[in-house]
Amino acid sequence: MISQNRRLTMKDNQAKYPQLRFKGFTDPWEQRKLGELNDVRDGTHDSPKYVVNGHPFVTSKNLSDQGLDLSDVSYISDEDFAAFNKRSKVDVGDILFGMIGTIGHPVLVESDSFAIKNVALIKGGGKISNCYLLQLLKSPVFDRYVKRENAGGTQKFLGLNLVRDFVLRVPNDDEQRKIGTFFAYLDNLIAVNQRKLTKLKELKQGYLQKLFPKNGSKFPQLRFAGFADAWEQRKLGEVATFLNGRAYKQDELLDSGKYKVLRVGNFYTNDSWYYSNMELGDKYYVDKGDLVYTWSATFGPHIWSGEKVIYHYHIWKVELSKFLDRNFTLQLLEADKARLLSSTNGSTMIHVTKGDMESKIVSIPNIDEQKQIGSFFKQLDNTITLHQRKLEKLQELKKGYLQKMFC
C-alpha cells in the first residue's frame, strides 16, 4: 500500500521525504553522492578496428528506454574485448547509461557478453541497490540534474566526475527493495503490453500483404469465403479524387479562432494547433469520417476522427466514387504505403505527388468484398488502438510514480 506523506511543511524537510511512500516507512532519506555509494566507471575511449563476427561493442546509440538494443551494433575482436574489459568489465546487474549526445536511457545489464565505449558503468553490489538506482536515474530528480549541468552547452555531455558527484537521497535497504520491486513489476507490465502491441502491428502488416494482390496480380493470396472473382485494375484517379488543402501564410495562422487548421504534424507528434476565421468553400474543410492523406514529410492515409477543421496544403482530402468503400480504401492506401516504405529502406520522409497517386494502378474487388476487408481491418485497427491506449496509460502511470516516489 502506498500512502501520501503529510508530515512535512518546511521546504528543507520536504527534500528528505518523497511525496508518496509505501506504508510503514517514515524515516528521512539520507543525502549522499553516487560515487560514495557505488563504483562508477566509464567504457573505453579508444576506437577499435571492427570485425564481422565478434563481441558486441555498445555505445550510447544502443541504449533505449526499452533496454539494450543490439540491432545496429558493431563488433570487436577477442583481443580488444579482453583489453577493454580490464578497464570496465560489464557484469550482470550493472547499470549503463549514455554520457555523450543522448544522455540517460539507463539499462540494467542482463547479459555480460559485450564491451562499452563512452557509456557510464555503475557496478552492482554497492551500498545502494541498482534496481532502486535504475528507477532513480529515470526519474525527474536525475533529469533535472542533467539539464542543470548541460545548461548553455552546445554538445550534450555528462562527464564521469559529474556522474559520481550526483547528489541523491537514499532510503533504507528495505524501502529501496520495495521501490525497486514495484517499478520492476511496472516495467514488466509495460514490456508485456509493448510486445502485444508490436505483434498486433506485425499481424496487420502480414494481412495487408496477403489480402491485397501483389505485383499486378488480380487475385490476393488470402480471401474471405465466398469471393473468387478477379479484382479489377483501375487508375486510382479514375475512382477517387484528391483535393489539395489551402496554403497558408504564417500571418494567417492564428492562436485562436473559429476553425482549427489541420497540419501534418497533428497526426503524428504535434499537439499544438493553429486556427483560422476564414470562411472557405466546402472542399477546404475536413469533417469527422473523411479520408485524408498526408503527402509531405511524413506520408500516409488517415480517417479524420475530430471536429470540422480546415486542412493544410500538405494534406489531400480523398473523395471516393461509388466504386470504393472508405474503410477498404484506407487499407488499400496503407498497403501501398508499406510497399513504398519497403522500397526506400523504411524512410518515412517521402514526397508523394498528386500525379503519382492519380496515375497509380490499383486492384479493386467488388464492393461486397471491399466492405468485408474494410470491416476486418477496422476491427483490427480498433484492437491496436485499445492496446496503444493501454500502453500509454501504463507509461503515464509510471511517469507519475517516478515524479512522486523520489526526492
State the pLDDT confidence band at 3, using cuts at 50, 70 and 90.
low
Assess whether pLDDT exceeds 70 at residue 5.
no
Same domain, 157 and 69: yes
206-215 per-position pLDDT tens digit:
999 999 998 8
- Residue 11 included in any domain: no
Assess whether pLDDT exceeds 80 at residue 6.
no
Same domain, 165 and 252: no
Q: Dmax of the chain from CA atoms?
A: 78
Average pLDDT over residues 266-277: 85
| % of the chain surpassing 70 pLDDT | 94
What does the alpha-carbon distance between residue 137 and residue 107 come to, in Å, rounded to a whole number? 10
Same domain, 34 and 166: yes
* Chain mean pLDDT for the chain: 90
Average pLDDT over residues 358-367: 96
- Residue 22 included in any domain: no
- Residue 8 included in any domain: no
The full 3-state SS of 177-228, as one line of letters, equals HHHHHHHHHHHHHHHHHHHHHHHHHHHHHHHHHHCCCCCCCCCCCCCCCCCC
Question: Which of 147-156, 176-185, 259-268 shows the lowest per-residue confidence on average (mean pLDDT)?
Answer: 147-156
Per-residue b or e along 286-318, where b marks 16 or more CB atoms closer than 10 Å to that residue's CB: beeebbbbbbeeebbbbbbeeeebbbbebbbbb
Contact 274, 254 (CB under 8 A): yes
Question: Which of 79-88, 110-119, 339-348 shows the lowest per-residue confidence on average (mean pLDDT)?
Answer: 339-348
Sign (positive/negative) of CA torsion 37, 38, 39, 42? negative
Average pLDDT over residues 391-403: 96
Give the pLDDT confidence score for residue 4 in this predicted structure. 52
Assess whether pLDDT exceeds 70 at residue 152.
no
Average pLDDT over residues 399-405: 94
Look at residues 170, 194, 213 and tell me which one is the last residue of a structural domain.
170
Residue 337: give the domain boundaries.
232-364
Same domain, 113 and 38: yes
Give the pLDDT confidence score for residue 11 in this predicted structure. 46
Average pLDDT over residues 302-321: 94
Burial (CB count <10 Å: 0-12, 13-18, 19+), residue 248: middle
Q: Which among 3, 21, 64, 1 has a CA at the least distance from the CA of 169? A: 21
| % of the chain surpassing 90 pLDDT | 73
Look at residues 170, 190, 219 and tell me which one is the last residue of a structural domain.
170
128-150 per-position pLDDT tens digit:
999 999 999 999 999 999 888 88
Average pLDDT over residues 207-233: 95
7-59 per-position pLDDT tens digit:
444 444 556 889 999 999 999 999 999 999 999 999 888 889 999 999 999 99
Average pLDDT over residues 54-78: 92
Same domain, 36 and 162: yes
Assess whether pLDDT exceeds 80 at residue 224.
yes
- Residue 70 included in any domain: yes
Give the pLDDT confidence score for residue 350 in this predicted structure. 72
Average pLDDT over residues 305-327: 95
12-24 per-position pLDDT tens digit:
455 688 999 999 9
- Residue 63 included in any domain: yes
Look at residues 170, 192, 216 and tell me which one is the last residue of a structural domain.
170
What does the alpha-carbon distance between residue 405 and residue 181 come to, in Å, rounded to a whole number? 13
- Residue 240 included in any domain: yes
Average pLDDT over residues 99-125: 90
Same domain, 160 and 276: no
- Residue 226 included in any domain: no
Element (H, E) at 75: strand 74-76
340-350 per-position pLDDT tens digit:
888 776 565 67
What does the alpha-carbon distance between residue 97 and residue 288 come to, in Å, rounded to a whole number? 44
Assess whether pLDDT exceeds 80 at residue 182.
yes
Give the pLDDT confidence score for residue 153 in this predicted structure. 62
Question: Which of 11-15, 272-276, 391-395 shows the lowest per-residue confidence on average (mean pLDDT)?
Answer: 11-15
Same domain, 61 and 140: yes
DSSP 8-class letter at 297: S
Same domain, 153 and 275: no
User: Higher confidence at residue 116 or residue 269?
Assistant: 116
| 309-311 and 285-286 strand pairing | antiparallel
Same domain, 163 and 284: no
- Residue 50 included in any domain: yes
Tell me the backbone φ, ψ of residue 202, rounded to 5 degrees.
Answer: -65, -40
For residue 103, the domain's CATH number is: 3.90.220.20
**Structurally, how many domains does the chain consist of?**
2
Same domain, 164 and 49: yes
